[in-house]
A and B are shown apart, each in its own frame.
Chain A
Amino acid sequence: MTTEQTEVAPEESIDSTLTETELATAAPEVLATSLGDYLQAWWRRIKSGESGAVPIIAGLIAIIIFFQIERSAFLTNQNLVNLFEEAALYVVVGAAETFVLLLSEIDLSIGYGVGIGGFVIAELIAPPVNFPWWLGIIGGVVAVGFLGFVQGTLITQLGLPSFIVTLGGQLGLLGIMLELANVDPTAVGGAIQVAPTSPIYKLVNSNMSPSLGWIALAACLAVFAAVKLARQRSRRARGLHTQPIGVTLLTLASVTVAGVLLVYVCNSNRSALAVVRGMPWVIPFVLVIILAYSWLLSRTRTGRYIYAVGNNPEAARRAGIKVNRIVTFAFVMSGATAALGGAIYVSTQGSMATDIDGGGLVLFAVAAAVIGGTTLFGGRGRMVNALLGGVIIAVVYNGLALMGVQAAVQDMATALVLIAAVALDAVVRRRSSTR
């Protein structure tokens, strides 16, 4: 075994015999042996239209530049923090939808999952129950996760299309939410107030201290760099192909720049009247969710099976994967994550009321995932896509609102972005299936 490893030659270097197919489908770090190779492979992948997040980030930057030219108030830190707070809910519901989209299913009930989650959380933390905030969140997650379990079970056991089951679910969950408000005597006029002292309220409305922001950033960057470098070292020790060190440094540098910018924007004073500084708690809340889910998808067996089932359920079944269990799990995660969105919604509103637009919210959920680059056809997509997509939606709404565009036009503009994203998805898919 050990002698075997020493004779393993370093992986093949990229060269002119690399086929277009290989270039188009492989991540650049799989083939590249130097930073130059990497950038070259990366560029060719962009040209062939299959480079994951890069065109989406480019699109986002283009939109931002457009709004900044139109309205100089766009890139002020006050507006940017507003924008992040708006994006938080879109990102989380997008992440919820990603679980089921990866299986080429859809969950149309997410919007009222947010509603029920919000009500359960608000009722649990308010008098007379007075649970601590975290128990409230757990209660909401369990409740909506269970509703996801019911829908997932109907879909898998009866073989029903998820589109229909969750369309019915949308109505059913709306009913459950209204009933929750009805039976609760403290919900005056269908609304429950959340005490401003509650951590749920503070999620959006209160900030980390600026120094805590910097310390947290430094800690995260240190852990990220340490993990990445340790991984590289252990792979090299085993004689496996490693990313060129230049690429690693480039990645670390860009993550550092992004992190510093984020903390800097949040930590600068954003009010003319009083001093308002620091990162709203909702930002780390959302980032932790995305990080945890990315880890679930990429590092655990369940995550691997989600991708396998999403691409080829028959192959997955033959490999011994319990396909039904994976599908049900995805619907549970979708519901549970919607409940986390409920916490954000409650915090933003300062209360929970039955006027929540769950039908509109589910469109944002699908839009965030798909705009960010997750396919509707299953098997391709990541949690980061929901993060990007959610931010793009928030940017579009925020920018158009700054320009004084009517709500109707804002909706139409978002619809255009969504359709463009879906069209791009379909084109990429057609291209890869005709290979």
Chain B
Amino acid sequence: MPVGRIRADPADGTIRRETLKLQRSQDPMSTTESNGALLSLRGISKRFGPVQALSDVTLDIPSGQVTALCGDNGAGKSVTIKTIAGLWQADGGEMLWEGRAIRHNGPREAEALGIKTIYQDLALCDNLDIVQNMFLGHERLEHRLLDEDAMETAARQTLKELRVTTVRSIRLPVSSLSGGQRQSVAVAKAVMANAKLVIMDEPTAALGVTQTRMVLDLIKRLAAGGVAVMLVSHNLNDIFEVADRLAIMYLGRLVVQGPAAQFTPQTTVEYMTTGTSRQMAGTA
């Protein structure tokens, strides 16, 4: 299934796209893509007035792996994830979901596919408890009334699977939780909604050492459970700890992507700040 390693070579992208077409025409029932990626961006571009925020972004996100998206401020990371999340449509290029071209109108459609985005502000309601937040917008009903017990049981099960054990009771309002616990609730909410791809924007930015530890462990478990995780982070320690793959952006372009083992912190910084790396040029 894996057709060689992914390269930042535009020519490679074209070739792979053709392979894909070929495979689909042979087997119309197949949903697996040639390179196995759950989501592939192909030559995505996005412009805001005079600002070319993204140009020709090509990126693969496989299931069961943590893909870290890095880049300096303004590189276009947030614009990329918002495009995937369906907040707006790309101006050019295409997105392939399980090998099929998709075009979603609005975040609801992206979510229906299984793409769940956790923004830095987490979007939790402080006045609601953990269960209520985890089911917000997807409440379970019984005779058209809220089925609190079913929701509580399911929420508990999910938190247990993710081994989120530090919360004292899942009926606590989220206002009483620590930053890491809130992050955990947001992740559990995504798992609850059967997300296939969980995108996290700077999940550890505001956290201390222990809490960061907790969230990183959670991310690993999430990927181990078969979910594709896309992680936006500025923290190289975090990235090298959890990421299976790295994708680096520079001034709206995706300059390189590949297995984390191919990168060192030094080359990563070089890519992030200059868009190229002398050391990696031959090997990537």
Contact status B153-A312, CB under 8 Å: no
Chain A min CB distance to B108 (Å): 6
Interface string of B71-99 (1 = CB under 8 A from A): 00000000000000000000000000000
Chain B min CB distance to A180 (Å): 37
Indicate if B102 sits at the interface (CB-CB under 8 A): no
Query: Contacting A308 at CB < 8 Å: which of B128, B149, B153?
Result: B128
Contact status B125-A312, CB under 8 Å: yes
With A300-B145, A304-B146 in contact, do A22 and B125 touch (Cβ < 8 Å)? no
Interface string of A232-244 (1 = CB under 8 A from B): 0011001111000
Within 8 A of A (CB), among B135-183: 136-139, 141, 144-146, 149, 152-153, 156-157, 168-169, 171-173, 175-176
Residue numbers in A under 8 Å from B172 (CB-CB): 22, 25-26, 30
Bound Cα distance from A287 to B254, whole angstroms = 63
Residue numbers in A under 8 Å from B144 (CB-CB): 300
Chain A min CB distance to B118 (Å): 10
Residue numbers in A under 8 Å from B139 (CB-CB): 301, 304
Indicate if A222 sits at the interface (CB-CB under 8 A): no
Residue of B nearest to A237 (CB): B149
Indicate if B63 sits at the interface (CB-CB under 8 A): no
Indicate if A426 sits at the interface (CB-CB under 8 A): no
Residue numbers in B under 8 Å from A307 (CB-CB): 125, 127-128
Contact status A315-B136, CB under 8 Å: yes
Contact status B127-A314, CB under 8 Å: no
Indicate if A220 sits at the interface (CB-CB under 8 A): no
Within 8 A of B (CB), among A287-320: 299-301, 304, 307-308, 310-312, 314-316, 318-320
Residue numbers in B under 8 Å from A27 (CB-CB): 171
Contact status A379-B145, CB under 8 Å: no
Indicate if B123 sits at the interface (CB-CB under 8 A): yes
Residue numbers in A under 8 Å from B169 (CB-CB): 11-12, 26, 30-31, 241
Bound Cα distance from A18 to B171, whole angstroms = 15
Indicate if A251 sits at the interface (CB-CB under 8 A): no
Residue numbers in B under 8 Å from A238 (CB-CB): 149, 153
Interface string of A303-342 (1 = CB under 8 A from B): 0100110111011101111000000000000000000000
Bound Cα distance from A12 to B153, whole angstroms = 16
Bound Cα distance from A331 to B255, whole angstroms = 52
Residue of B nearest to A31 (CB): B169
Contact status B168-A31, CB under 8 Å: yes
Contact status B153-A240, CB under 8 Å: yes
A: number of interface residues (CB 8 Å): 41
Query: Contacting A8 at CB < 8 Å: which of B124, B128, B145, B156?
Result: B156
Interface string of B108-130 (1 = CB under 8 A from A): 10010000000101111111110
Interface string of A14-38 (1 = CB under 8 A from B): 0000110110111100110000000
Residue numbers in B under 8 Å from A321 (CB-CB): 136-137
Residue numbers in A under 8 Å from B124 (CB-CB): 312, 315
Contact status B111-A234, CB under 8 Å: no
Contact status B156-A320, CB under 8 Å: no
Indicate if B107 sits at the interface (CB-CB under 8 A): yes
Contact status B156-A314, CB under 8 Å: no
Query: Contacting A310 at CB < 8 Å: which of B121, B127, B171, B175?
Result: B127
Contact status A315-B125, CB under 8 Å: yes
Indicate if B132 sits at the interface (CB-CB under 8 A): yes
Residue numbers in B under 8 Å from A430 (CB-CB): none
Bound Cα distance from A435 to B111, whole angstroms = 33
Chain A min CB distance to B50 (Å): 28
Indicate if A432 sits at the interface (CB-CB under 8 A): yes
A-B contact pairs, 16 of them (CB 8 A): A8-B156, A12-B168, A21-B176, A27-B171, A30-B172, A239-B153, A299-B145, A300-B146, A308-B128, A311-B126, A314-B123, A315-B124, A318-B107, A319-B123, A379-B125, A379-B126
- Starting from the known contacts A311-B125, A319-B138, 13 additional A-B residue pairs (CB-CB under 8 Å) come to A12-B169, A19-B176, A25-B176, A30-B169, A304-B139, A304-B146, A308-B128, A312-B124, A312-B125, A314-B121, A320-B108, A379-B126, A432-B175
Closest 4 CB pairs of A and B: A319-B137, A315-B123, A25-B176, A320-B137
